Structure formats: structure tokens, C-alpha cells
């Protein structure tokens, strides 16, 4: 999908939309969803009514800031949703009314895409927009999926196999395919993506629910503490023979300051932005629950190909037989691969070019006949002939045992040192390719599965985070072990069948572990469904995309690691802001309690004994209360960017992460409001607000 990646927090349009919906969200039904903010809402209504009976500039300011607190929390949620909405809008453009060429028996009928139903068959040719999600049942085509993935290179889609799914809104670039519709209108992939990013179907995740319960519990405790304050205060007033009063707006202010409004106001923004951050990395989570589970992952199931290695084996070395010059071997090797268009073949050409400085040779004077690889011969090569057809050279390369048969059939000796080299290369997890010239062995090429750069460090980080990595590969155990060791994964399954993945997931889950995997094929679907986090590649089959709880639009298997990190970051942000919010209360007590109790037991004086607790030296009781409530409201706004971006995350062990976050958000949460309230107190006194 084409998204504006720079959609910053301050983008004007977004901001205006968010401002509008901050007011719309004052709807009591909406407020009820968040118990903490509901208390603020009710408090604001109460104090507004109090204004009619007991008007003062001070009370008016309290009322204003109470409403601001409510609005700021709404704004936080609105802006988080707004970012999703902007993305949804760009998706919606894909849904312009497309006409579909529906097959009616063998006849083609033109119908609107919205009239297609599951099971219908449509035909698409070059430059047609695929009207709706479906599965190719006949043909092969190149498809431009950039509208969804942002990737401009076209992809191949063909019937049968794991690349048969097509998405509505994408464009066929070449060829002709028959597509069977797999969903009804309104339920297509894009429809669901729109719903997801808009947050329309957003439900609270389990951890969010638990946190809401905790915050509501704390709110109940603070309601008890403030409500009982009134009788306690009345008793004390009656005992100290002073005439001071505790007004309802002040009590409400105290309550609003104490209840965890910071986290309460930002909680849903944090959740929405977690899914948003995934989206920014082109991953669509089908539920917030999946994002949360990502943070808990203990085991990552990674396909070797594409994740750990580049997917293609590459030539890294050539070994010459006795009596063969290495340079000559290089030359012959190069010739053997000149007409070999496979990635392996190209890598051989690259190797000799780089290592032996061999350019492509001018062979125009010869007749070159390439001998393609077949399953029977298990070798390939070239025959070089003179113009008259006389055979000059017959060059072959291939698997060791078939070359051995080939060489020995011609009555030549298969050298012992080559046998050894082959054995050693295979033993090290690489693939040996033996090169011959005129049925004589010249040497061996080492084809190696090359591990991606930096992947080992990535796995080391994961290990620190307590995540075990398991490599899944179809290779034999020997090859698998060698790559596993090189990449630094914790474990591997070799010669893996699709059922093995499912089995492994079951075993790990029985141990109480949470497993994440990425997959694309139909036979991956059961494992994707079983995994706690199953990421389906967008290139995969419809079945796989249905089974997983996330879809990676880039179809990049390394993404799994980022998904885990985003999950962790989401949970950390929630914990950090909760800690911050609760730690804030200490300072607010030291601001408000001395302010409202100052006159008690003062023996006529204004500054009674409890004014000693005014350690911030706030200038008056009114300014103390006002500063606290202003700080309380502004901190919500100040922390919106943090809630949307998530707190800084560096992969390391739990204890280090914890210590760092305690220091920043716990200790910081204790100190910041002392400074903030004092500063606000100075400002409002300077401006004579009280």
C-alpha cells in the first residue's frame, strides 16, 4: 500500500481530525469504556454544575483543566486512530468500482466487482485489475502488488502450489489467468485490512484488560481516600476551631490528580500505535492479541532459506585435482557455467572473475552447445565444437556420484584426492560440484549456503532476550548442523517435513512456551494456526494467510524478529507509563495535601502545622491545586509522542532492561512532577491566575 511514511505527529490534517474527534469522544458511552477517564469525565461534569452555585475564577480554571484532561486523553486516542485512518483511506482507493469479467460457463460477462460471490470464476488479462481476492485455478501471470506491498517488482502468480493466491486491487501485468473468487465482497483482504488499521474492530487485548482492571482498582482506592477525606477533614476542623472548608472542586481535583490518568488516557493509544508500528513495517496484525503475544515469544521457528541464508547456494572455492593448475581449472569452470543461468551458475562465474581475474572469453569462433541439467544425468555443462562440428572440449559439472559414474564409464580414474575433497566439503555442510573436461576430473567447486551478514549477532541478541531460535530446513542433518553452527541458531530440524513444524510447535507449547513462525505454503497452514504468532507471507496461499494471525506484506522472513521486538516494545511502553503514572502521585500529594490542610490546627494562623509538608514552597493553596491539575493534564499531551512511538528499545536481558526503565520511568516519574508542578506554580503566579 502506498503510505506516507512521513505522516508525522504534527501533520496538520491529522491534527484537525483528531481535535474534532476529541470532542466527539466525549460521548458518555465512549467514556464508559475507560473507567479511569470516566471518573475524570464525571468529575468535570460535577464541577461544571458546581460553577452555577459557587462561581469563582479559581473554580472556573479547575473546571477548564478537568475538561482538558478528558479532551487530552481523547485526543491521544484520536491521533493514534487517525494515523491508522489515513492509511485506511489510501487502501480504500483500491476499492474503486472495478468491473470484473465473470465466467458464465464458457461465456464472459462483465459485472461489477461488488456482485461477485465466493466460488465465482473471473478471468484477468494483462492490465486488468484483479477485482477481488481469489485463487488462480488456471494459468500463470505476473502481478503488480505494489498497491499492497509497496514493492515495485512484479511477482509471479500461478495455479497450483503455494503461489496461487491473488489479492483484489492488484494488477495483472502479463498473461491470462482464471481466478476463483474466495471471499464475498466486504470480507476481502483489503476490507479486513481497512477495518484493522482503522481500529474499528479493535478489541482490548488480554493484557490491556488486566491493566484496566488494575487501574480501576487503584481508582477505587483513590476514590475511597478522597471521599473519606471530607469527614476526616470535618473532624479536624471541628477540633482545631478554624473556619476553613474543603470544596468539592478541590476534592475532585485531588481525585483526578491521584487516579492514574496518564496511563489511563494513553492506554488505548499505546495499543493502537503498536499495531500501527507493525503496519509501518508492512505487517498487518489481525488482532492486538497477536502483537501482545509477540512480546512473549520464547521460540522462533525460522525457515533456513530466505531467513538465515540468502536462499541460493554460492560458489566460494575451487579445489584442483593433482596435476591440474588452479588457473586452468578456473578457466574450465568458468566455461562450464557460461550458459548456466541458475543463481549457482552465476555465482561460479562471479567467483572466478573475482578470484582469478577471468573475464568472459571470446568464444565467437566456436560452436557452443549447452548441455542442460536433467534429473537423470544430474550434471550440466557445455560442448565446445569447431565451426565444422568437431568436438573440442566436453565440459561437465555435477553431483559427485554421477560424475564418478560418468568418468569411470569412460574408463578413466576418479582421483582419490577428489573423493576426499568432496567428502570434506559435504561434511562442512556445503555442496560439492565436480568439474570434468573430456571425461577427466579437474577439480571440485564448493557451493555454499551463505549465511546472511549480521544474522549471528541478531540471534545472539535474541538469546539475550531469552528467545530460542530453531532453524527449519529440508537439508540433510550434516548440512543443517553446519549452517546452524555458522548462523548461531540454538537448534535445528533437518530434513523437515511440514508436519514436523506442527509437531515441534506442539512440543514447545506443552512446555509452556510461546512459539512464533513464518510460513507461506498451504501445508504450513496448520502450523501457522497452531503457533502463538503465525506470520503468513503475502506471497503465500490463501490458506496460509487465513491461518496466520499476521500477514507480512513484504514476505520477508526476517521480519519475525522485528515483530517480536515490536511486541516487547508495546508491553514495555505500557509498563513504563503505568509506573510513571503511579510514581507521579507522590509529588501531587506533597502539593495538594499541605495546601488543603494548611489551615488546620493553625491556632488562627494561616500556616498550620501541615503547611510544613509544602516542601515545594508552592505559593498558595489555590495555585498548588491548580498547578497539580494542570501538570496532570499536560503530561498526557507531553507523553503522546512516546505512547505512539513506544519507549526506546534495546535488545538485552530482562534485568538490564528493567533497571533502565525503572530508572527512567520510575525514578523519573518521582522527580518530574516535583519540577513540573513547581514551574507551573511559578508561571501561574507570575500571570496572576490565582
Partner 1 sequence: MNYFDYLQVFVYLLLLVALTPLIGNYMFKVFDNKPFKAKGIFSWLETSIYKTIGLKPDSQQNWKQYAFALLSFNLLGFLFVFVLQLIQKQLPLNPQQLGNVSWPLAFNTAASFMTNTNWQSYAGETTLSYFTQLIGLTVQNFVSAATGFGVALVLIRGIRNKLNSQLGNFYVDLTRSVIYILLPLSILFSVVLIGQGVIQNLNAYKTVTTIEKNQQVIPQGPAASQIAIKQLGTNGGGFFNTNSAHPYENPTPLSNFLEMLAILLLPASFVYCFGKMIGSVKQGWYIYMTMFILFTVGLVISVYSEYHFSSGVFEGKELRFGTINSLIWENATTAASNGSVNAMHSSLSPLSALVALFNMMLGEIIFGGVGAGLYGMLIFVILTVFIAGLMVGRTPEYLGKKIEAFEVKMAIMGVIAPSFIILVFTAIACMTDAGLSSLSSKGPHGFSEMLYAFTSAGANNGSAFAGLNANTNFYNLMIGIGILVGRFGVIIPVLAIAGSLSEKKLIPVSSGTFRTDNFTFVFLLIAVILIVGALTFFPALSLGPIVEHILMITGKTF
Residue 605 binds to partner 1 (criterion: CB under 8 A): no
Among 145, 449, 585, 681, indicate the residue that binds partner 1 (CB under 8 A).
585
Minimum distance from CB of 463 to partner 1 (Å)?
7
Residue 278 binds to partner 1 (criterion: CB under 8 A): no
Minimum distance from CB of 572 to partner 1 (Å)?
5
Residue with smaller CB distance to partner 1, 131 or 599: 599
Residue with smaller CB distance to partner 1, 397 or 468: 468
The closest alpha carbon to 225, from 256, 262, 249, 265, belongs to: 256
Among 334, 336, 578, 628, indicate the residue that binds partner 1 (CB under 8 A).
578
3-state SS assignment for residue 456: helix
Phi and psi (nearest 5°) for 358? -100, 120
Among 132, 574, 623, 643, indicate the residue that binds partner 1 (CB under 8 A).
574
Is the Cβ–Cβ distance between 538 and 551 less than 8 Å?
A: yes
Among 46, 356, 373, 649, indicate the residue that binds partner 1 (CB under 8 A).
649
For partner 1, which stretch binds (CB under 8 A), given 165-173, 179-187, 290-298, 389-397? 290-298
Minimum distance from CB of 293 to partner 1 (Å)?
8
Residue 579 binds to partner 1 (criterion: CB under 8 A): yes
Is the Cβ–Cβ distance between 576 and 639 less than 8 Å?
A: no
H or E element in which residue 586 lies: helix 559-597
Minimum distance from CB of 634 to partner 1 (Å)?
21
Applying the rule CB under 8 A, the residues between 664 and 683 that interact with partner 1 are: 665-666
Applying the rule CB under 8 A, the residues between 223 and 262 that interact with partner 1 are: 224-236, 239-240, 258
Instruction: With CB under 8 A as the rule, give the number of residues binding partner 1.
Output: 78
Residue with smaller CB distance to partner 1, 111 or 593: 593
The rounded distance, in Å, linking the Cα atoms of 334 and 352 is 7
The closest alpha carbon to 558, from 302, 274, 283, 298, belongs to: 302
Residue pointed to by grid coordinates 508491553: 571
3-state SS assignment for residue 389: coil
Residue with smaller CB distance to partner 1, 263 or 494: 263
Burial class of residue 617 in the structure, from the number of CB atoms within 10 Å of its CB (0-12 exposed, 13-18 middle, 19+ buried): exposed
Contacts of 251 (CB under 8 A, 6+ apart): 226, 227, 229, 230
Is the Cβ–Cβ distance between 69 and 44 less than 8 Å?
A: yes
Residue pointed to by grid coordinates 494548611: 598
Applying the rule CB under 8 A, the residues between 455 and 484 that interact with partner 1 are: 463-468
Minimum distance from CB of 76 to partner 1 (Å)?
19
Among 221, 392, 410, 683, indicate the residue that binds partner 1 (CB under 8 A).
221
For partner 1, which stretch binds (CB under 8 A), given 334-342, 360-368, 429-437, 661-669? 661-669
Applying the rule CB under 8 A, the residues between 351 and 370 that interact with partner 1 are: none
Query: Any idea of the CA torsion for 166, 168, 169, 174, to the nearest 10 degrees?
Result: 40
Among 600, 634, 637, 638, indicate the residue that binds partner 1 (CB under 8 A).
600
Among 308, 379, 451, 571, indicate the residue that binds partner 1 (CB under 8 A).
571
Residue 296 binds to partner 1 (criterion: CB under 8 A): yes
Residue 206 binds to partner 1 (criterion: CB under 8 A): yes
For partner 1, which stretch binds (CB under 8 A), given 21-29, 165-173, 564-572, 622-630? 564-572
Among 583, 598, 625, 677, indicate the residue that binds partner 1 (CB under 8 A).
583
Phi and psi (nearest 5°) for 403? -65, -40
Contacts of 9 (CB under 8 A, 6+ apart): 79, 640, 641, 644
The closest alpha carbon to 512, from 564, 568, 561, 468, belongs to: 468
Residue 505 binds to partner 1 (criterion: CB under 8 A): no
Residue with smaller CB distance to partner 1, 484 or 577: 577
Establish whether 303 is a catalytic residue: yes
Residue 52 binds to partner 1 (criterion: CB under 8 A): no
For partner 1, which stretch binds (CB under 8 A), given 190-198, 317-325, 415-423, 656-664? 656-664
Is the Cβ–Cβ distance between 446 and 425 less than 8 Å?
A: yes
* 57-96 footprint of partner 1 as x/- string (CB under 8 A): ----------------------------------------
Number of residues written out for the chain: 690
For partner 1, which stretch binds (CB under 8 A), given 6-14, 105-113, 159-167, 593-601? 593-601
Is the Cβ–Cβ distance between 192 and 224 less than 8 Å?
A: no
R_g over Cα of the chain: 34
Is the Cβ–Cβ distance between 293 and 515 less than 8 Å?
A: no
Among 57, 217, 343, 360, indicate the residue that binds partner 1 (CB under 8 A).
217
Applying the rule CB under 8 A, the residues between 393 and 432 that interact with partner 1 are: none
Minimum distance from CB of 428 to partner 1 (Å)?
31
The closest alpha carbon to 135, from 526, 500, 541, belongs to: 541
Beta-sheet pairing, 515-519 with 533-537? parallel
Largest CA distance in the chain: 125
Residue with smaller CB distance to partner 1, 132 or 677: 677
Residue with smaller CB distance to partner 1, 374 or 655: 655
Among 131, 295, 415, 429, indicate the residue that binds partner 1 (CB under 8 A).
295
555: left (phi over 0), alpha (psi -120 to 50) or beta: left
> What angle is formed at CA 529 by the lines to CA 527 and CA 533, rounded to 5 degrees?
95
Buried b (16+ CB within 10 A) or exposed e, 656-679: ebeeebeeebbebbbebbbebbbe
Catalytic option among 128, 303, 340, 475: 303
Question: Among all residues, which ones are annotated catalytic?
Answer: 303
Amino acid at each position: 500500500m502506498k503510505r506516507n511514511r512521513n505522516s508525522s505527529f504534527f501533520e496538520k490534517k491529522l491534527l484537525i481530525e483528531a481535535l474534532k474527534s476529541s470532542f466527539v469522544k466525549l460521548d458518555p458511552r465512549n467514556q464508559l469504556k475507560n473507567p479511569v477517564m470516566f471518573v475524570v469525565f464525571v468529575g468535570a461534569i460535577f464541577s461544571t454544575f458546581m460553577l452555577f452555585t459557587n462561581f469563582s475564577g479559581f473554580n472556573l480554571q479547575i473546571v477548564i483543566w478537568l475538561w482538558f484532561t478528558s479532551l487530552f486523553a481523547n485526543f491521544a486516542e484520536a491521533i493514534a486512530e487517525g494515523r491508522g485512518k489515513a492509511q485506511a483511506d489510501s487502501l480504500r482507493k483500491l476499492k474503486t468500482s472495478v468491473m470484473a469479467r465473470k465466467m458464465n460457463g464458457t461465456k464472459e460477462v462483465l459485472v461489477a466487482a461488488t456482485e461477485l460471490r465466493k466460488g465465482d470464476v473471473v478471468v484477468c488479462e494483462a492490465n486488468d485489475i484483479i477485482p477481488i481476492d481469489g485463487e488462480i485455478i488456471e494459468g500463470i501471470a505476473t502481478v503488480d502488488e505494489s498497491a499492497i506491498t509497496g514493492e515495485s517488482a512484479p511477482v509471479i502468480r500461478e495455479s497450483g502450489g503455494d503461489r496461487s493466491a491473488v489479492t483484489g486491487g492488484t494488477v495483472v501485468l502479463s498473461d491470462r489467468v482464471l481466478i476463483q473468487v474466495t471471499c464475498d465482497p466486504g470480507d476481502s483482504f483489503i476490507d479486513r485490512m481497512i477495518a484493522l488499521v482503522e481500529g474499528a474492530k479493535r478489541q482490548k487485548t488480554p493484557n490491556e484488560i488486566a491493566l484496566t482492571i488494575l487501574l480501576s482498582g487503584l481508582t477505587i482506592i483513590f476514590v475511597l481516600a478522597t471521599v473519606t477525606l471530607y469527614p476526616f477533614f470535618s473532624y479536624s476542623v471541628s477540633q482545631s476551631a478554624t473556619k476553613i472548608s474543603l470544596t468539592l472542586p478541590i476534592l475532585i481535583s485531588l481525585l483526578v490528580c491521584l487516579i492514574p490518568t496518564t496511563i489511563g488516557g494513553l492506554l488505548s493509544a499505546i495499543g493502537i500505535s503498536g499495531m500501527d508500528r507493525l503496519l509501518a513495517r508492512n505487517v498487518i496484525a489481525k488482532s492486538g492479541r497477536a502483537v501482545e503475544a509477540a512480546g512473549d515469544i520464547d521460540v522462533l521457528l525460522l525457515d533456513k532459506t530466505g531467513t538465515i541464508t540468502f536462499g541460493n547456494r554460492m560458489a566460494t572455492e575451487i579445489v584442483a585435482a593433482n596435476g591440474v593448475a588452479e588457473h586452468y581449472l578456473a578457466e574450465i569452470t568458468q566455461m562450464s557455467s557460461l550458459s548456466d543461468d541458475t543463481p549457482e551458475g552465476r555465482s561460479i562465474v562471479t567467483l572466478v572473475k573475482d578470484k582469478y581475474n577471468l573475464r568472459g572469453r571470446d568464444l565467437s569462433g566456436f560452436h557452443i552447445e549447452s548441455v542442460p541439467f536433467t534429473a537423470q544425468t544430474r550434471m550440466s555443462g557445455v560442448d565446445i565444437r569447431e565451426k565444422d562440428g568437431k568436438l573440442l572440449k566436453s565440459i561437465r559439472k555435477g553431483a559427485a556420484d554421477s560424475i564418478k559414474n560418468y568418468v569411470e564409464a569412460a574408463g578413466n580414474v576418479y582421483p582419490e584426492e577428489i573423493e576426499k575433497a568432496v567428502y570434506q566439503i559435504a561434511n562442512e555442510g556445503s555442496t560439492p560440484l565436480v568439474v570434468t573436461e573430456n571425461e577427466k576430473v579437474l577439480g571440485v567447486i564448493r557451493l555454499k549456503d551463505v549465511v546472511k551478514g549480521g544474522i549471528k549477532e541478531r540471534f545472539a541478541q535474541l538469546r539475550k532476550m531469552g528467545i530460542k531460535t530453531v532453524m527449519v530446513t529440508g537439508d540433510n542433518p550434516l548440512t543443517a548442523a553446519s549452517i546452524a553452527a555458522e548462523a548461531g541458531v540454538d537448534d535445528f530440524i533437518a530434513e523437515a517435513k511440514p508436519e514436523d513444524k506442527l509437531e515441534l510447535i506442539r512440543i514447545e507449547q506443552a512446555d509452556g512456551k510461546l512459539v512464533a513462525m513464518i510460513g507461506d505454503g498451504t501445508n504450513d497452514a496448520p502450523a501457522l494456526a497452531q503457533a502463538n504468532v503465525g506470520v503468513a507471507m503475502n506471497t503465500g496461499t490463501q490458506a496460509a494467510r487465513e491461518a496466520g494471525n499476521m500477514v507480512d506484506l513484504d514476505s520477508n522472513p526476517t521480519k519475525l524478529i522485528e515483530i517480536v521486538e515490536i511486541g516487547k516494545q508495546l508491553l514495555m511502553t505500557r509498563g513504563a507509563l503505568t509506573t510513571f503514572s503511579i510514581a507521579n502521585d507522590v509529588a501531587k500529594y506533597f502539593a495538594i495535601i499541605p495546601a488543603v490542610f494548611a489551615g488546620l490546627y493553625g491556632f488562627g494562623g494561616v500556616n498550620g502545622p501541615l503547611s510544613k509538608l509544602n516542601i515545594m514552597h508552592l505559593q498558595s493553596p489555590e495555585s498548588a491545586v491548580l498547578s497539580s491539575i494542570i501538570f496532570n493534564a499536560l503530561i498526557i499531551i507531553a507523553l503522546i509522542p512516546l505512547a505512539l512511538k513506544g519507549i526506546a528499545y534495546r535488545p538485552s536481558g530482562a534485568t538490564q532492561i528493567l533497571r533502565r526503565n525503572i530508572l527512567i520511568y520510575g525514578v523519573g516519574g518521582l522527580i518530574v512532577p516535583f519540577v513540573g508542578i513547581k514551574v507551573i506554580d511559578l508561571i501561574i503566579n507570575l500571570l496572576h491566575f490565582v
